[in-house]
């Protein structure tokens, strides 16, 4: 991502993949399977990964890093990227039992989403 240019879905997915080995492998497999990035589909993989690992003390730094990438996407993402984060991760996450576990790790933009969502 260059300064002044909004983050794209591919840049977000790459950022997420760089924060988590599992998500990096998942991104590669996703692109191989679909031939391209399908952002909403990939974001369900991110949600599944967080759901599976939230609350495991040893995964806290990884989950925090993933949430930081989502925070950055809400801050610097283009409209489509913000929509993918909002609709395919945040709206789903708040309905999940693990949400209480990740709440302390949420950044201000993600928290604002929940305050108005």
Distance CA 100, CA 12 (A): 24
Distance CA 39, CA 57 (A): 28
**Contacts of residue 70, Cβ cutoff 8 Å, sequence gap at least 6:** 12, 16, 85, 89, 90, 107, 110
What are the pLDDT digits (tens) for 8-42? 999 999 999 999 999 999 999 999 999 999 999 99
pLDDT at residue 65 in the model: 95
What are the pLDDT digits (tens) for 35-94? 999 999 999 999 999 999 988 877 789 999 999 999 999 999 999 999 999 999 999 998
**Contacts of residue 5, Cβ cutoff 8 Å, sequence gap at least 6:** none
pTM here is 0.89
Residue 3 has pLDDT above 70, yes or no: no
What is the DSSP annotation of 3-56? Answer: TTSPBPHHHHHHHHHHH-HHHHHHHHHHHHHHSS--HHHHHHHHHHHHHHHTT-
Pair of tokens at residue 98: 């693990």
pLDDT at residue 57 in the model: 76
Distance CA 107, CA 42 (A): 21
């Amino acid at each position: 991502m260059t300064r002044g240019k909004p983050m794209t879905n591919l840049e977000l997915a790459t950022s997420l993949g760089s924060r988590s080995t599992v998500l990096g492998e998942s991104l590669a497999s996703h692109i191989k399977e679909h031939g391209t990035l399908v952002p909403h589909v990939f974001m369900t993989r991110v949600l599944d990964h967080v759901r599976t690992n939230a609350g495991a003390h040893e995964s806290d730094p990884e989950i925090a890093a993933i949430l930081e990438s989502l925070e950055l996407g809400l801050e610097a993402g283009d409209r489509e990227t913000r929509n993918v984060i909002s609709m395919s991760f945040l709206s789903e996450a708040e309905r999940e039992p693990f949400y209480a576990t990740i709440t302390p790790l949420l950044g201000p933009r993600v928290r604002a989403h929940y305050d108005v969502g």
